[in-house]
Chains A and B, each alone.
Chain A
Amino acid sequence: MALLQRALFAGLVVAIIMWYLAGVGLVGAFADREVVTGYLSLGRLMLLTPLVIGGYAVARQAGSVGRRLTIGAAAGGMGGTFFAVGILVVLALSPGIREVFIRINDTLIEFLLFGLDPVPGALLNVALGIGLGLLGASLPVVPPIVRRGLLAGVGGMVLASMLEPFVRPRLTEFDLHDVVLFLYQDQGLLPLAAVIVFAVSALLAIAWRPARAEVQRRYAAADPGAQRVGRWVALLLLISFIVTLPQFTGVFITQVLVLVGLYILLGLGLNIVVGYAGLLDLGYVAFYAVGAYFTALLTSPTSSLGIGLSFWAALPLVVIGSALIGLFIGAPVLRLRGDYLAIVTLGFGEIARVLFLSDALAPWFGGVQGILSIPDIIGEGSYTLPLLGEIKGPAATYYPLVGFCAVAAFIAWRLKYSRTGRAWNAMREDEDVAQATGVNIVNYKLLAFAMGAAIGCLGGAIFATHLESVFPGTFNVLVSITVLAVVILGGMGSIPGVVFGALALIGLPELLREFAEFKLLVYGAVLMLMMILRPEGFVPDVTRRRELHEAEGEEGEDGEDENLENPEAERTAAPSQA
């Protein structure tokens, strides 16, 4: 009985989520984004995923295999039923209800009913619900390797279809028309190609872990000299990949990469303030703005200063100036902690924007008009690199930006494993104890703000030269929030985490233009889910994991899998829910 109740509840939640996704327009927006042309669209995938997750969620605590599958199918079936009933209700209440929910239009209804008549369409939804619920329920039952393969297969398909706009022109460029015809029809994959992509991704995912373990084992067994060579080779491969990226991705992707790079830079800076030192700064955009405006003032011949320095001559002044502003902002908030600090810094961020916008300061900063005719980063529009030839367009910004990111990451990494980094961490963990242990918290707080400001301003400087103009409207609170989201998604204090966060939160939405409208909605949902399910972030601190690995093999990383395989342990841990 309790099981049935749980299935009923899960079904209801799933149906509500599905209705929400459809109702706000997400499903509709992605309905035409084909993954497998004619069979599966991203919208459908999005709509159906909750059924799988619902089945998975109820089944992982349900005991024997038979019970798990039954309850999973039941939950999925209920979800499908509630959802189908919803469609029928909407149809019955039309057109009245449509005026409230403007996203629910005929196209969407048709999509939700698979183009069938209401009754067969609704029944198909129920059937799909049962099937997908069953699929979800079987996930905890099957060996982890199958699970991993399945997820990677679906992920690979989605990625392959998402990358179509860039893969196609590249392939065409290299005269591989047959490959294009084999892979894609319109934006989606062809069925056979989809199967192959699925299989390849799944196999890669399955092979990944043993392969990595083997590499690690050999690495550990090698002598120090060989280890060093291995490290250098890996680093060299990574560098050559990053350096050649714009050569084979084309202008659009390079443009996206520049945006991602800017957020990596900002994220690295904020990571020092929030991740290392634990100072929740919601006004980080101020440093971004200061960097951009300082650069504009110093380099644009038409700015109020009008001295028209080159970017590289202006850079040291910008960094020093921004670090001083960091101290200036840090000083008054030294005594504030946690929420209070967050509110005050939020205010500082807005003050920065308002100052740059204000009429009173317009003679200096140009007010609404901003500052124009900022020279680009080299001053010539293009330059030549050895081996790579002439660099122009967004790639001209890409290379210096990569350099800046590398320097910032290097600084962040060195600081992290130093006396300074430890003092910051201690301060984050317990300010009073840190002080009683000998950490001068005033100095270290100011240092964190100045360091964060200096790195953040680099982002602003590049941004200004990239757009060749600055406007106050760009520097709104959303930038601060987005950078914070980047840091949190990756894992506070983690440097690879920042890269991951920027790719996921900045790169992905650029590839999926349909997202634009829903970006904040999705950010919000993602952040909430992160805080509940994985507060340490997707790429948590590497050291810790590595160090745990040395001692206990794979255990550290497979936390989730363990949970799945010990449903009993979980049940006893949370008896109050039964």
Chain B
Amino acid sequence: MTVATMDSNAPAEEQGILLEAKAVTKQFEGLVANREIDFNIPRNSIVSIIGPNGAGKTTFFNQLSGIYHPTSGQIILDGIDISNVAPHQVAQLGVARTYQNIRLFQNMTVLGNVMVGRHVRSSGAWFSAIFRLPRIRREEEAVEQRSFELLELVGLRRRVAHELAKNLPYGDQRRLEVARALASDPVLLLLDEPTAGMNPRETRRMTEFIGRLRNDLQLTILLIEHDMKVVMGVSERITVLDYGEKIAEGTPEEIRANPRVIEAYLGKQATA
């Protein structure tokens, strides 16, 4: 497919477009949560989606990760149409995500959570697990090794690896969610409000961390974020949604100056 290169809005970056949404509409009964959203994410960039509560950000996210399927329109990842692909296959294709309200596997260990994240990059089936063939043993060791590395990467100490996920403090739970997402070696990482509920210091560290992730792991990152400081600090491009529609798109500077954005956030009076 050559769709990706045909988009006229795409910035002239050499690496091209990783993900492209074309006229994505999502309708629940009568409610239109997303209306004709055109959107794309350049490879190896950090892009943010912002907008007031109920603007349809998370719905859009859920369509990117296969949890919902668009009513109409297309989502194309790396040349493959994923509009109607099941979530586990989307994960297989390299999309990993975190959640607005942390959703860890609470009663599994910290290490276990990350190891589940590795599911799509390992292949041991049940019968080989029963006989624990040499191949499986090696794979298990590699998975565990990689999971420990990721825990370290996100800044979780080795000694919490065998704690239950639910016993971690809030900030560490956020970190663990990121580690779990990274375990699948994603090409596209979706972060749904990664700094929600964090204090300024934690927020600053998370912001730095997001930037570092992109550079070190050659990731492409899409954020939903409320904290304007984070959004402006870390993103290269910002898309603004309001009432399910895209109302603006551009660099942080452009968005800051855009009257429609200010209106959406602060109400009509503010612009008048």
Q: Chain A interface (Cβ within 8 Å of chain B)?
A: 410-411, 414-415, 418-423, 425-426, 428-430, 432-441, 447, 451, 543-544, 547-548, 550-551
Contact = CB atoms under 8 A, between A and B. Distances in A.
Given A432-B67, A435-B91, 8 more contacts: A414-B132, A415-B129, A415-B130, A422-B115, A429-B105, A436-B91, A440-B86, A447-B126
24 contacts: A414-B129, A418-B126, A418-B129, A418-B136, A423-B116, A423-B119, A425-B107, A425-B108, A425-B112, A426-B108, A426-B119, A428-B107, A429-B104, A429-B106, A429-B108, A430-B103, A430-B106, A432-B103, A433-B99, A435-B87, A438-B88, A439-B119, A451-B126, A544-B109
A414 B65 contact: no
Contacts of B119: 419, 422-423, 426, 437-439
A55 to B, nearest CB: 33
A509 to B, nearest CB: 31
Interface string B160-190: 0011100000000000000010001000000
B122 interface: yes
Contacts of A415: 126, 129-130
B66 A547 contact: no
Nearest to A440: B88
Interface in B87-146: 87-88, 90-92, 96-97, 99, 103-109, 112, 115-117, 119-120, 122-126, 129-132, 136, 139-140, 143
Contacts of A551: 159, 162
Given A414-B130, A419-B124, A429-B107, A439 B116 contact: yes
B108 to A, nearest CB: 5
B120 A438 contact: yes
Contacts of B124: 418-420
Q: Place the interface of chain B in its size category.
A: 35 or more
Contacts of A436: 65-67, 87-88, 90-91, 97
A415 B116 CA distance: 14
Contact of A430 (B105, B109, B143): B105
A543 B164 CA distance: 11
Contacts of A544: 109, 162, 164
Contacts of B120: 437-438
Contacts of A543: 162
A436 B99 CA distance: 11
Given A422-B108, A544-B164, A433 B88 contact: no
A240 B123 CA distance: 38
A422 B124 CA distance: 11
Contacts of B132: 414
A437 B180 contact: yes
A420 B107 CA distance: 16
Instruction: Find the residue from A423, A432, A435, A551 having the highest chain B CB count within 10 A.
Output: A435
A67 B131 CA distance: 60
Nearest to A420: B126
B149 to A, nearest CB: 18
Nearest to B166: A429
A439 B86 CA distance: 10
Contacts of B87: 432, 435-436
Contact of B162 (A410, A432, A439, A548): A548
Interface of B: 65-67, 86-88, 90-92, 96-97, 99, 103-109, 112, 115-117, 119-120, 122-126, 129-132, 136, 139-140, 143, 159, 162-164, 180, 184
Contact of A434 (B116, B123, B163): B116
B88 A435 contact: yes
A432 B87 CA distance: 9
Contacts of A410: 130
B98 to A, nearest CB: 10
A410 B115 CA distance: 22
B86 A435 contact: yes
Q: A415, A429, A548, A550: which has the most chain B beta carbons within 10 Å?
A: A429
A419 B65 contact: no
Contacts of B130: 410-411, 414-415
A440 B89 CA distance: 8
Given A433-B99, A437-B180, A422 B88 contact: no
A430 B96 CA distance: 16
Nearest to A429: B105
B261 to A, nearest CB: 30
A550 to B, nearest CB: 8
Nearest to B103: A433
A438 B122 CA distance: 11
B44 to A, nearest CB: 23
Nearest to A450: B126
B160 to A, nearest CB: 9
Contact of B105 (A426, A438, A547): A426
Max count, chain A CB within 10 A of own CB: residue among B65, B66, B105, B180: B105
| Residue from the set B91, B104, B184 with the largest chain A CB neighbour count within 10 Å | B91
Contacts of B131: 414
Contacts of A434: 105, 116
Contacts of B139: 419
A411 B99 CA distance: 34
A415 B128 CA distance: 10
Contacts of B159: 551
A422 B74 CA distance: 33
B116 A547 contact: no
The 10 closest A-B CB pairs, nearest first, are A418-B129, A438-B120, A438-B91, A547-B162, A429-B105, A419-B124, A426-B116, A435-B87, A420-B126, A436-B87
A437 B92 CA distance: 8
Given A438-B91, A544-B164, A420 B125 contact: yes
A483 B108 CA distance: 24
Nearest to A552: B159
Contacts of A432: 67, 87, 103
A247 B90 CA distance: 59
B99 to A, nearest CB: 7
A548 B124 CA distance: 28
Nearest to B123: A419
A438 B184 contact: yes
A274 to B, nearest CB: 14
A419 B129 contact: yes
A440 B86 CA distance: 9
A421 B125 CA distance: 10
B116 A422 contact: yes
B129 A420 contact: yes
A437 B163 CA distance: 21
Contacts of B123: 419
A543 B111 CA distance: 13
A269 to B, nearest CB: 14
A230 B155 CA distance: 37
Most A Cβ at <10 Å: residue of B87, B99, B103, B159 = B87
A286 to B, nearest CB: 22
B116 A437 contact: yes
Contact of B140 (A418, A439, A440): A418
